[in-house]
């Protein structure tokens, strides 16, 4: 009897535990649902700074990569613009050179219509500053010969061809120390510093020689003391030496020097040729040299 009562008591306790466990489980589920929103909010709040760090890091990385790509694109665009600019400058230089060359041809043709000269246009490619020589880019292939006169488009005498090669020539400038040429002095009026017309007859002119001093300088010599010359008088070629045509411009007297103890007058001369500004010259190829 007692054994039977004990078994019933044990069974009752087991059911109580089971019911209690079920109630506790139900309560846990209810509580979990009630607090799940707060838990998610807390987790989100805690993780938000971390998410911002990674988000900012990603944005910064994207910005850096974008800047790198933009820099490369800018470099390429800058290079393309420079290339285009160089092309435009090259084209401008070409057209300027063509225009300059055409103008030079027009000037020299206008100046030499009456002389009927044959001319070869040449570029000055260099200078020998120590010896007063110039190099031009025309030679034997262009019909250039020694002693041909070299002038500018304004009929200013630069010198004569000294040595000729296949495609270039050496020009002795009138300022070379070995250069001597006969000149005609066009007397100016004392009240002005302008020459009379270079085609006037010799009765209005005085003769002498121009010698080179080196350093692109020349001087007038062998002018008789009984001849009157003035500062500002214009010097032109006289053609007496048989090398240069007459009336090519040489320079003007800067300061005359007269000494009664000497048989001749001398003078410093300002030459008209300008090696710094002149790039193109003409070679007179058909002048018949007088013997």
Spatial contact of 152 and 281, defined as CB atoms under 8 Å apart? yes
The answer on pLDDT for 266 being more than 90 is yes
Q: Where are the domains of the chain?
A: 1-111, 119-291
**182-210 residue pLDDT tens:** 999 987 655 444 444 444 444 457 899 99
Give the CATH fold of the 119-291 domain: Thrombin, subunit H (2.40.10)
The answer on pLDDT for 137 being more than 60 is yes
Spatial contact of 160 and 149, defined as CB atoms under 8 Å apart? yes
The answer on pLDDT for 111 being more than 70 is no
**139-164 residue pLDDT tens:** 999 999 999 999 998 899 999 999 99
4-18, 117-131, 132-146, 200-214: least confident range:
4-18
pTM of the model: 0.59
**10-59 residue pLDDT tens:** 555 666 667 676 766 666 555 655 555 455 555 445 455 545 554 554 55
Spatial contact of 206 and 198, defined as CB atoms under 8 Å apart? no
Most distant CA atoms of the chain, gap in Å: 180
In 3D space, the residue among 126, 164, 167, 131 whose CA is nearest the CA of residue 148 turns out to be 164
């Amino acid at each position: 009897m007692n054994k039977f009562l004990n078994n019933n008591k044990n069974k009752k306790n087991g059911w109580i535990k089971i019911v209690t466990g079920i109630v506790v489980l139900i309560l846990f589920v209810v509580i979990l649902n009630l607090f799940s929103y707060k838990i998610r909010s807390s987790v989100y709040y805690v993780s938000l700074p971390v998410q911002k760090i990674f988000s900012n890091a990603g944005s910064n990385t994207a910005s850096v990569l974008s800047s790198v790509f933009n820099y490369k694109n800018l470099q390429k665009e800058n290079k393309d613009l420079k290339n285009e600019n160089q092309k435009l400058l090259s084209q401008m230089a070409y057209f300027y050179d063509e225009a300059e060359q055409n103008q030079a041809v027009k000037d020299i043709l206008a100046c030499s219509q009456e002389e009927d000269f044959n001319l070869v246009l040449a570029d000055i490619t260099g200078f020998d500053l120590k010896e007063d020589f110039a190099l031009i880019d025309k030679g034997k292939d262009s019909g250039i010969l020694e002693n041909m006169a070299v002038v500018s488009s304004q009929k200013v005498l630069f010198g004569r061809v000294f040595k000729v090669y296949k495609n270039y020539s050496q020009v002795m400038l009138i300022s070379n120390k070995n250069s001597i040429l006969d000149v005609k002095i066009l007397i100016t009026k004392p009240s002005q510093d302008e020459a009379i017309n270079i085609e006037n007859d010799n009765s209005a002119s005085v003769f002498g020689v121009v010698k080179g001093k080196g350093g692109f300088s020349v001087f007038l010599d062998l002018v008789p003391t009984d001849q009157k010359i003035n500062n500002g008088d214009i010097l032109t070629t006289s053609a007496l030496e048989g090398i240069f045509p007459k009336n090519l411009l040489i320079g003007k007297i800067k300061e005359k020097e007269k000494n009664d103890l000497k048989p001749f007058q001398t003078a410093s001369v300002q030459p008209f040729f300008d090696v710094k500004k002149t790039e193109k010259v003409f070679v007179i190829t058909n002048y018949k040299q007088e013997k």
